[in-house]
Structure 1
Amino acid sequence: MIGGFFRAVMTPFALFLGLNSIPELVTGVLGTMFMGIGMFGLYFLHIRQAGKLGFAAFAIHSFASFLLMALVFESLTFRVYEPAMLDSPTPPLPIAIAGMTSMPLLILSMILFPLCIFRTNIFSRFPAVLLLATPVLNFIPAVSDFGPLLWGAAFILFGSEAWKQAGQITPYRGSEGAEQVC
C-alpha cells in the first residue's frame, strides 16, 4: 500500500511540477522501493496457490522495481548535484543497460501477475485489470503520464486486500495444542 501510494503521488507531482522535479523523483524512489518489497508480501501470502507463474511475476516485478528505483535515484542524484547530466544525449553504459532492461521486465511482470490472479483468484480482478492497463496506458502519448497513477492504485488495492486476507489466516495448532504461526 505504501509503495502504491508513493507511486500514485508521482503523477500529480509530474503534472504540476514537471518531470524530474525533486518531489516527483523522491516519490518515485520510495514508490518503486516499497512496491518491490511489497511484492514479497503479495507473493508469500499466496505462495502455494500462485505457482510458477506467480513466482515468475513476483521475481521479475521485484527485480525490475529495484532496477527502476536505482534509475530514478540516479536521476534524483543528477537533478540535485549535476542537472546537466539529465540533458546528456547518451547516458553512461550501465544506466543505458538498466534503462533498457527495467521497463520490458516491468511490462512483462504487469502482464504475468494479473494472469496469475485471473487464473487463481488470489486477489480481486479490479486491481489486476488496473495493473494490466498500466503498460497499455504508457504507450498512448495523450495519457501516458497517468500510468504511475494506475500502477500505484493497483498496488494500494492489492495491499489492502492482502492486509485483510492476512488477518483471516488462522494459526496452526501443533500436536501439543500450542499455537504455532507458520
Structure 2
Amino acid sequence: MTIERAVRWFAFVAMVGGIVRLGMTPSSYIWGGDSNQELICAFIANILMVFGTFGLYLAQVKEAGKFGFISFAIMELGLILVTCTVWSSMLHVSPWDWGIVKAFEISSGMLGLLLFPIANLKARVLPKWPNFTLIIMLAVGVIPMFEKIVALLWGAAYIGMGYAVWSSKLKKPKYEQ
C-alpha cells in the first residue's frame, strides 16, 4: 500500500468519524446531554477522529511545517484525552475526579481545535470552510443555547476535510502546478 493510499483511507476514517460525531446532536436533543446514546457516539467518533486526523495532517505534511506538526500533536493529544474522559463518563465516573488531567484535557482540546485549523489555513491545502467551521465551533460552544450544535459543526468540518483528502480534491501546492 502506498502512502497516498493510506492517507486516503485515514481521510475516509475522518469522514466516518465526522458522520458519527453528527449523531451526537440529535442524540442530545432526544435523550439529553451525556445520555448513553450521545456518549457512545462521542466515544466512537473520537476514536475514529484520532486515526482520521493522521490522514488530514499527512495530506499536507510538507506545507504544514513545524507549526503544523505541533498543532497536529496537540490536536491528537486533545482527542485522546477527550476519548478517555468520555469513557469515564460512560462508566459513570466523573472526569472531574481526575483533577489536573481534566484541566489538561480541556486546554489541549481547545488549543488543538484552534491551532490545527489555523495551521491548515496556513498550509493552504485543505478547503477553507471546514477550518473556519472548527474555529467558529469554539466560539459557538460557549453560548449555552448553542452548545448542542457543537458536535454538528465539528462533524461537518471533519466530513469536509476528510472528503477533500479522500477524493483528492486538494489544492495543489504552487511548486506542483
Structure 2's unaligned 5+ residue stretches are 1-14, 173-177
1:13 corresponds to: 27
Larger-gyration structure (1/2): 1
Q: 1:68 aligns with which of 82, 101, 118?
A: 82
Q: 1:154 aligns with which of 127, 132, 157?
A: 157
Note the C-alpha offset of 1:166.
Answer: 8.2
Q: Is the 8 A contact 1:45 1:166 kept in 2?
A: no
Distance 1:96 1:18 in 2: 25
Note the C-alpha offset of 1:116.
Answer: 1.5
Q: Is the 8 A contact 2:24 2:38 kept in 1?
A: yes
Q: 2:137 aligns with which of 109, 134, 137?
A: 134
Distance 2:96 2:127 in 1: 40
**TM-score, L = length of structure 1:** 0.80
2:60 corresponds to: 46
1:123 and 2:129 matched: no
Q: Tell me the matched-pair count.
A: 158
Distance 1:98 1:137 in 2: 24
Structure ranking higher on relative contact order (CA contacts 8 Å, 6+ apart): 2
Percent identity among equivalent residues? 29
Q: Deviations over 1:36-83 (max 9, x none)?
A: 1111111112211111121112111111101100110111122xxxxx
Q: Deviations over 1:117-162 (max 9, x none)?
A: 2222111110011011111111111111111110111001111011
Q: Is the 8 A contact 2:60 2:123 kept in 1?
A: no
State the AA in 1 paired with 2:58.
Answer: F
Q: Is the 8 A contact 1:71 1:98 kept in 2?
A: no
Following TM superposition, the consecutive aligned residue runs of length 4 or more in structure 1 with deviations greater than 3 angstroms are none
Stretch deviating more after TM superposition (137-146 or 113-122): 113-122
Q: Compute the RMSD of aligned alpha carbons.
A: 2.1
Note the C-alpha offset of 1:164.
Answer: 1.5
Are residues 20 and 160 of structure 1, via their aligned partners in 2, closer, same or farther at CA, if it must alter by over 3 Å?
same
1:22 and 2:36 matched: yes
Structure 1's unaligned 5+ residue stretches are 79-84, 170-182
Distance 1:53 1:71 in 2: 27
Distance 1:96 1:8 in 2: 29
1:57 and 2:71 matched: yes
Q: What secondary structure sits across from 1:143 in the alignment?
A: helix
Q: 2:148 aligns with which of 141, 145, 156?
A: 145
Distance 1:157 1:39 in 2: 12
